[in-house]
Structure 1
Amino acid sequence: MDKKEIKLTKQDLNKSFFRYYTFAELGSNYERMQAVPFASSISYCIEKLYPERDEQVEAIERHLQFFNTEATFGGMILGVIISMEEQKANGVTIPSETITSLKTGLMGPIAGIGDTLIWGTLKTVVLSMALTLALQGNVLSGVIVFLFPIAGYLICNRLFSLGYNLGTKSINKVLKDGLINQLIDASSAMGLFMMGALSASYITFEIITEIKVKNTDPIVIQNVLDEIVPGLLPLLAIFSVYFYLKKKDNYIAIVVAILIFSLIGSYFNIL
């Protein structure tokens, strides 16, 4: 007799997704990173797909191997792997090593896309909007900040469903489709535009020193600089910090240096 097909329900998939999204980052550790929350998330489906205890243990063990990627876009990997486990449980010849190798191979590319779009762009844009309204005293700033986790949840859920429904085809679609590269470039440009606009609007750096000239009005150095290039000093300050961080990743040193520079300039009535 043919073995009865085991089909995961929408409830099974929702349980796995919700646990993954909730604990993907909370359960990380230095030895295996996100492997524990990943294995915990997929355990709902493993228990249903593999009735035998030995099969369940074997499946969980292969998902306890090192795993680390950007969590939001990593939902697609979870969907793909669940789809493969379902096929394997129903008789399709898929070696365990193939599932493990696919997970390992997808960690890097998916992390690169997720870090750029989620943390480099989406977070920058949402928090920039919230900070702008906060500086204006607008209470909506406290509401807008929640757009980031809400958008992250919706994106992760959509990618999880896409990964499960299309299987390995979804990964090929994301990685090989030229549209994703255009989206990354456009998102990066938008993030840089937002940061540039905020820097120009809210970074104050002026020289208040005046040069006194006999029988005429004093020369205000800041006015002279503004006639040459408006906003020149804030621009130089931003690029100074940028080039320093490219050489040394020391944020504390930057904060301390700016604080000392500001105190000295204020004390001598220069800035």
Structure 2
Amino acid sequence: MSNKKENLKNNSGILTKKDLIIASLRHYIGISTYNYDSGLASTVVWEQYPALRKIYSNDDDLIASINNHFKFYNCHPWLSAIITGATLAMEEKDGKKSLEAVQNLKAGLMGPFSGIGDTITWVMLPTILGAIAGSMGKQGNSFGMWLFVIIFFMLFVLRSYLYIFGYNQGVNLITSLGDKLHAFTDSISVLGLTVIGGIISSTINFKLALEFNQGGVKLSGQDVLNQLMPSLLPVALVAFLYYMLKKGFKMTTLILTVIVIAMIGAALGIFKA
């Protein structure tokens, strides 16, 4: 406890522990605000607004920070508290100058943290605890069910402490980096691009169904593309959608466009799942 208090004091002194507790409690709104345009960005703005208002006395700087947080963000809600707590510490330390680093940190960590959170809280724990509860329940013992409830309640409460943990780590990160923040920003930016690139190739299933017959030899169009560049079509699709977003098209419009193109392409035998 004493170390935590020391950490909270070794910063610019703008935010108090009470501010962090308020932000951590507002964080519980979580995934209920999810949308396909900005993910959980509105959640981040909601949870951090009182703290950001204290950090930025200038309205223009506050608006710049809010707009930065409204960029797409999607992370497992239980571990997201670590990331958003750290970004608060970064903005408290360097204000508007930290916005690029804040966005790069979120983009670089939201994927790995989501993988950890999904694996542990959505798959591993429910499977293990559910098996225990079911086995004991068949014997007329309700202890397994209560064990399930208690553990998940403890994890639910732990989310508030993760917020303060993330904030403390953010303070330590900024203090230790000092004038190396620019190099850190570049490193996180590379990490974010790497994560996004991996997501594109592994999750977007967009393949060519065309086949060519020449002299009794059958050639798959998708095999030809794979020889040129694996996952070429998913990358081209993402580039096209990104270009359309920059032109001002809404996310719902792009989703409907992809659905229509996929249906027409499948019907004509051009694309396959």
Category of TM-score, reference length = shorter chain: 0.5 to 0.7
For structure 2, the 5+ residue unaligned runs are 10-15, 28-41, 70-83, 128-155
Rounded Cα–Cα distance in structure 2 between residues aligned with 1:253 and 1:177: 44
Aligned residue in 1 for 2:123? 139
For 2:191, the aligned partner's letter is M
Q: What SS does the aligned partner of 1:218 have?
A: strand
Shift of 1:179: 1.5
| 2:25 corresponds to 1:22 | yes
Aligned residue in 2 for 1:109? 97
Change (3 A) 1:152 1:244: farther
| 2:181 corresponds to 1:180 | yes
| 2:181 corresponds to 1:194 | no
| 2:49 corresponds to 1:34 | yes
| 2:168 corresponds to 1:157 | yes
Aligned residue in 2 for 1:253? 253
Cα offsets for 1:99-137 (capped at 9, x unmatched): xxxxxxx642244432331x2222233225667x69xxx
Rounded Cα–Cα distance in structure 2 between residues aligned with 1:75 and 1:111: 12
For 1:188, the aligned partner's letter is S
- Decide which structure has greater helix share: 2
Aligned residue in 2 for 1:74? 88
Rounded Cα–Cα distance in structure 1 between residues aligned with 2:237 and 2:159: 29
Do the aligned residues in 2 keep the contact of 1:122 with 1:148 (CA within 8 Å)? no
Paired residues for 1:158-237 under 5 Å: 158-159=169-170, 177-213=178-214, 215-237=215-237
| 2:107 corresponds to 1:120 | yes
Shift of 1:195: 1.5
Change (3 A) 1:240 1:141: farther
Q: What SS does the aligned partner of 2:205 have?
A: coil
Aligned residue in 2 for 1:59? none
Aligned-pair Cα RMSD in Å: 4.5
Shift of 1:28: 7.1
For structure 1, the 5+ residue unaligned runs are 1-8, 43-62, 81-105, 163-169
Identity rate, percent: 17
Instruction: Give the TM-score normalised by structure 1.
Output: 0.53
Shift of 1:65: 8.0
Shift of 1:22: 3.0
Change (3 A) 1:152 1:243: farther
Cα offsets for 1:24-76 (capped at 9, x unmatched): 888978xxx9358967xx9xxxxxxxxxxxxxxxxxxxx99858346633346
Structure 1 window deviating more from structure 2 (188-197 vs 204-213): it is 204-213
Rounded Cα–Cα distance in structure 1 between residues aligned with 2:25 and 2:269: 52
Task: Give 1 or 2 for the bigger CA radius of gyration.
Answer: 1
Rounded Cα–Cα distance in structure 2 between residues aligned with 1:27 and 1:197: 24
Aligned residue in 1 for 2:131? none
Rounded Cα–Cα distance in structure 1 between residues aligned with 2:201 and 2:44: 40
For 2:187, the aligned partner's letter is A
Q: How many residues are matched?
A: 194
Cα offsets for 1:175-225 (capped at 9, x unmatched): x93311111111111111112122212222222122334x51333222222
